[in-house]
Structure formats: C-alpha cells, structure tokens
Amino acid sequence: MGDGEEGIVAGAPKLAPFNPSSPDVIHRTCDLLGPGKHGAGIGEDDVVFDLGCGDARLLCAVALKYGCRCVGVEYDARFAERAEKEVEHYKVGHLVEVRHADATKVADLDRATVIFMYLNVQSNLALQEVVTAAYRRGVKIVSNMFSLKYLGDDFVEAVVCDGITRLYLYDQMRAKAKGSSTCAEDEAQSSLGEKGEEVAPPREKSAFMKKLEWFFDPLRNPYIIKIFNGAMVALFALLLFLMYHGLGNIHIYNIIILSLCLFFMVNWFIREYRAAVEQEARDKAAAATAAAAAEGEEAVPEGDEAASETKAELKKTN
C-alpha cells in the first residue's frame, strides 16, 4: 500500500505514516490538557483539533474526559473510517467530528483553542505558518514526540511518556507569565542533558527522588547491574556450598533454578531496554537529518549528537 492509492485526499502531502499515540501518551495528553498547575485547563467550551488524527482515539479520550468539541482531520479514508467507528464506539459523535481532508488545508482552524499534532519534524515545519499564527492567537499547541523550535523554546511542559517519548505543551499565556528564564531553568533540569534539545522533566522532583530514579535506572547507573550480578554470584556460591556440604534438599535445587531464571531474565530485559533506547535515538537522528535536509542545512543535526551521546552513555553501562 503506497501513496496515491485510493482513499487518499487528492494532492494532500503525506505528513506522517499512521502510528497511533500510545495509551500512555493518550492518558498523559488528557492530564496535560486538564486542570492544575501544569495543565492547559480546557473545558466544555474548548475545541481541540488533531491534525492527522489517525483512528481518533486520542480525541475520543479528550472528548470523554472534558466534554469539549474535537475535530480530527485525516487524509486517508481507511483511518478516517476507523476513526468514525471509534467515535461511534465511545458514543462521542455529538462531540467529535472526523473529517476526511488534508490537514494542511483546514479552512476553519481559527475555531481551534487547542491543536494536537503527532507528525514528524519535517511536517511540523511544513505547518509552521498556520501553527505559529494559531499560537499567537492564544491557541494551545500539543506536539507528540517533537518540540516545535519555531515557537521559540516556549513550551511550558514537557512530559515523558513510555519512558522516552515526549509530549510538549505550548501555551503562550503561561509562557509569558513564566518568563523566558523558566525555559532556561527547564533546560538546566533536563534529565538527559543533551545540548540544545528542549527537554525538561515532567514535574518538579525532589533531589532524593532524582537520586533514587538514577540509582534504579540501569542505563544511567552503571553500578546497578554490577551490584545485581554480584549479588546473584554470591547467592549461587552460597547455594553450591550448601549442596556440596550435603545440606541441600529439593528446595535448594528449586531456588537455584529460580535464581538462574531471574538472573537471565533481568539481564535479557536490560539488553532489550537498551536496544529500544538506542533505536529511539537513531529514529530521532533520522528525523532531524530529514528536517535539516529540508531546510538545506549542512551542519550535523543534533539528532546525530543525541544518538551518539546516548550510545556513549549506554556504553558506559556495559
């Protein structure tokens, strides 16, 4: 199935392939739009647009939670149909409108009070003019995965989802109230510390919690795996000692088998986790390279730096 096939709005550019937001992203987007110090504080009077809505599950969740109107724009008839089914399933037809249309040509985007986007760097740039205009009107912008550099580092929240994906909320009113120094502070508190990348922790955390998280994160704390493996070796030594001295019984053999399973499972899990983080960094690098190519830049994009820095970080833990 490629581009230009039946069901695609004629002439519409492919902004991104279908890749629905994860349940965690949907859940956190709902939180991010909600009340509270860190939320956008939307209510029934708001109108949320999803540019490239896919199956519109995100909009259904938002509509259900806040009773606001939502408009999903989807250029592929297959996903627009799927979105209609979701709307029917969640019984939010009175709130959610699904449009089989091109998201780059939305005539009534001025109705939006919130715009959600889960596209890619290049497509975010393609929408720069309309998104910037909306943002200046006071529309809140939420971008899944990619920060919108053209909004001038003004994001007021950056939420970590699924361990790595980031959800950025841009809210001009709050950005002004916070002042530019807050963005600088957010950057300083970056959990990954990649130079030039607008990444901030999701919430203020105490120093103790940060230390605790660092301690139990095998990708950041190189000692935790060594401590675990050392403890397992000590346990095996003890069990073998008991066996050798004739003190062993069936329970000791069971414990040995269970310990071996635990040992291999934990090490396998950490290897998979590390591979997933590396893949994420590679994807980011590819997206940044595509964006830089689109802008005609020759400089190495930060995505590559991010990938190599992440790799270097991961190597330390080996």
> What is the β-pairing status of strands 114-117 and 69-74?
unpaired
**Cα distance between residue 312 and residue 318, in whole Å:** 10
Shortest separation between residue 102's beta carbon and ligand SAM, angstroms? 5
Whether 134 contacts 113, CB under 8 Å:
no
Q: Which C-beta is closer to ligand SAM: that of 56 or that of 175?
A: 56
Determine the residue with CB nearest ligand SAM.
52
Cβ contacts of residue 114 below 8 Å, gap of 6+? 33, 40, 42, 46, 47, 48, 49, 139, 140, 141, 142
Distance CA 160, CA 173 (A): 23
Nearer residue to ligand SAM within complex by CB, 63 or 183: 63
Quick one: 20 or 248, whose CB is closer to ligand SAM? 20
CB closer to ligand SAM out of 104 and 124: 104
- Minimum CB–partner distance for residue 10 and ligand SAM (Å): 11
State the minimum distance, in angstroms, from the CB of residue 96 to ligand SAM.
13
Give the Cα-Cα-Cα angle 292, 28, 208 (nearest 5 degrees).
Answer: 95
Looking at beta carbons only, is 54 or 303 nearer to ligand SAM? 54
Question: Shortest approach of ligand SAM to residue 160 CB, angstroms?
Answer: 17
As a whole number of angstroms, the distance between CA 98 and CA 42 comes to 20
Q: Which amino acid type is present at position 189?
A: Q
> Cβ–Cβ contacts within 10 Å for residue 279, how many?
11
Binding site for ligand SAM (CB under 6 A): 12-16, 18-21, 50, 52-54, 58, 73-76, 79, 102-104, 118, 144
In the complex, the smallest distance separating the C-beta of residue 2 from ligand SAM, rounded to whole angstroms, is 13
